[in-house]
Amino acid sequence: MKILSIHDLEKLRKSAEAHMSLREESNRHVVDHSCGLATGTPHIQILICGGTGCKASSSQEIVQRLQMEIAEHQISEKVEVIMTGCFGFCEKGPIVKIIPDNTFYVQVTPEDAAEIVREHIIGGRKIERLLYVDPKTEKSVSDSKHMDFYRKQMRIALRNCGTIDPENIEEYIARDGYFPLATCLLRKKPQEVIEEIKLSGLRGRGGGGFPTGLKWELTAKQQAEQKYVVCNADEGDPGAFMDRSIMEGDPHSVVEAMAICGYSIGATKGLVYIRAEYPLAVHRLKVAIAQARDYGLLGDNILGTDFCFDIEIRYGAGAFVCGEETALIHSMEGKRGEPTLKPPFPAESGYKGMPTNVNNVETLANIPIILNKGAKWFSSIGTERSKGTKVFALAGKINNVGLIEVPMGTTLREVIYEIGGGIKNGKKFKAVQTGGPSGGCLTEKHLDTPIDFDNLLAAGSMMGSGGMIVMDEDDCMVSVARFYLDFTVEESCGKCTPCRIGNKRMLEILTKITEGKGTEEDLKTLQTLGKVIKDTALCGLGQTSPNPVLSTLDNFYDEYLAHVKQKVCPAKQCKALLTYAINPEKCIGCHACAKHCPAEAITGMTRKPHIIHPDLCIRCGMCVSRCKFNAIVIC
């Protein structure tokens, strides 16, 4: 089907809106008493999370089981099963949502499908055991709008994730998809589009926070036979899955935004650089591009205008450094993925030496809705210098693990204790790492810091692409710093000496400290070396690589001192600094620990307290796991 004009697009939207109407209605208000065919509801839609995490937990099989049950009960004309993108509440997946009554079922298994159809769809009775239980009130919550996890969120970049079928272009069009592109092509000049993006205050969500409209303008001003639009979908931070979820749940928003960018800067070709480790995102992106071509929204003479634009996919091999735009461009050109000194910037000389605009997935996902609702609407959200919302992958020692989107200016306390539900197992909060390996560890004194680009930098961390890992009292901050630096050393391209050699030396020092061989002089060396690397490394990734070490030195210096002076790890995580002993008052001499000790470091007579010999102990923890009387003491 080719959409030849704006009128054709409008007709398609109207026909598709009927299909989406139930979902739109459920988003406006809660319908508590309309579930089940027994109540006379004319149509029911069952939405199932189809993101990578839930698919790994058998959500595809849930779809198949539901379809089988629906067919068996001969209600296929009244009930539709739809696989969507990620709902965000990954801790409770797989998630099944019933529309229009908005019932939100969590941790569903394929075996639950028959009961859902029989009890809920046909009988109109909600299944209590599958409902979310609020840990504070211990009461079941059937509607996601009443859950703390969603209450303070504002989904803009994630607006369609968990709501539409990502492989159905008509559902995207029903939610105003491709109308911003049509408006730009038919009613706005390229510079007018750029001005709208500039007025919105949108800044790059990939880590640097550079003003998006200004980047577009710089590329538009260049004179060249060919220009390129590049989508950076190479998401490399440990624990980060923001861009992946957008591509899996709303790929058309990225396709449309790239076309709008192409029109604005004078480019006819788009390239998506995506890691091959994202097979589901790649598949859905391919489907979206193919559908957009079939509907005449990519290719030649889009919507009957002179504008021509198409998109190709290029694959990365998962190199962290290829998240840096110049390294990414070199990788797409078939060269080694290494950054180059700027200027020239990609806007002047990028892919194949031509002017190139590079934006990451989340940045692009904001473009269509900004143009649809207006720059003033977007700029009214957030803080003075950081407009809009930010998507975070909330992980670590937190009760509600998942993907969240909050207005800029939301505090860390709100994210961790309200949306995140607090620390697991009632433990004490210790730190939160923002910005991935390039970010820093923030402490309790930072909890009331409003999250935006400038505040996080001032606190010694950064926004980054949106990773947010929470740590509790059992985490050793020296080991955490070592973990992130180990990742950076492994992923370094090796082009510049500060990153290649400097980070390796820092890692060696941290390893010494965690093994009980460090000195106070080593702490001074870490600080000096970290600052030198920040000042002299070639690219942004190298310049920010010492952040985890420097921030933990600033905020947890006493913990470092304990490692180098007392030779102890307060969190009891550094294996070489631990001592295992047996409490004679609790030991009954059952011999279970001695029998399973691989180093034969435990001796003692039956029914008499045993002894661990420190010189033989390899600190494997086997004795702790085998002792049923909590007689093993770790100090």
Of 12-26, 364-378, 476-490, minimum mean pLDDT range: 12-26
Give the C-alpha separation, 147 to 174, whole Å.
27
How far CA 347 is from CA of 222, 542, 600, in Å, comes to 8, 22, 65
pTM of this structure: 0.91
Distance separating the N- and C-terminal Cα atoms of the chain: 70
Nearest partner of 525 among 553, 483, 491, 497, judged by Cα = 553
**How far is the C-alpha of 272 from the C-alpha of 270, rounded, in Å?**
7
Long-range own/partner contacts, residues 372-379 (CB < 8 A, 24 or more apart) = 372/176, 372/179, 372/180, 374/196, 375/196, 375/197, 375/198, 375/199, 375/200, 375/201, 376/199, 378/156, 378/200, 378/201, 378/202, 379/199, 379/200, 379/201
Q: What is the pLDDT of residue 27?
A: 61
Tokens of 76: 């296929």
Residue 226, judged by CB atoms within 10 A of its CB (0-12, 13-18, 19+), counts as middle
pLDDT at 245 over 70: yes
Count Cβ neighbours within 10 Å for each residue of 397-413 and write b for 16 or more, e otherwise.
bbbbbbbbbbbbbbbbe
Q: What pLDDT does residue 1 have?
A: 67
Kind plus residue range of the DSSP H or E element containing 312 = strand 310-316
pLDDT at 33 (0 to 100): 45
Q: What is the pLDDT of residue 30?
A: 45
Residue pair 456/535 in contact (Cβ under 8 Å)? The answer is no
Of 9-18, 110-119, 286-295, minimum mean pLDDT range = 9-18
The pLDDT of residue 189 is 97
Task: Please give the share of the chain, as a percent, with pLDDT higher than 70.
Answer: 97
pLDDT on residue 73? 94
Domains of the chain: 20-144 (3.40.30.10), 176-379 (3.40.50.11540), 389-472 (3.10.20.600), 477-566 (1.20.1440.230), 579-634 (3.30.70.20)
Confidence of residue 42 (pLDDT cuts 50, 70, 90): low
Overall size of the chain counted in residues: 635
**Structure tokens, 322:** 């290829």
In the chain, the percentage of residues whose pLDDT exceeds 90 is 75
Tens-place pLDDT, residues 494-510: 899 999 999 999 999 99
- Contact predicate 487/433, CB 8 Å: no
- Compute φ and ψ for 206, nearest 5 degrees: -85, -10
pLDDT in tens, 32-41: 445 666 655 5
Give the pLDDT score at 26. Answer: 62
What residues contact 424, with CB distance under 8 A and at least 6 apart?
397, 398, 399, 472
Write out pLDDT tens, residues 317-353.
Answer: 888 898 899 999 999 999 999 999 889 999 999 999 9
Residues 6+ apart with CB under 8 A from 65: 110, 113, 114
- At residue 331, the pLDDT reads 95
CA-based nearest residue to 421, from 86, 150, 130, 142: 150
Residues 6+ apart with CB under 8 A from 11: none
What per-residue confidence (pLDDT) applies to 28? 54
CA angle 398, 400, 401 (to 5 degrees): 80
CB atoms closer than 10 angstroms to residue 167: 18
Q: Which pLDDT score is estimated for 437?
A: 85
- What pLDDT, in 10s, does the model give residues 390-428? 999 999 999 999 999 999 999 999 999 999 999 999 999
**Each residue's pLDDT tens digit, 70-88:** 999 999 999 999 999 999 9
Please state, in angstroms and rounded to a whole number, the distance separating the CA atoms of residues 22 and 20: 6
**Cβ distance 177 to 409 under 8 Å?**
no
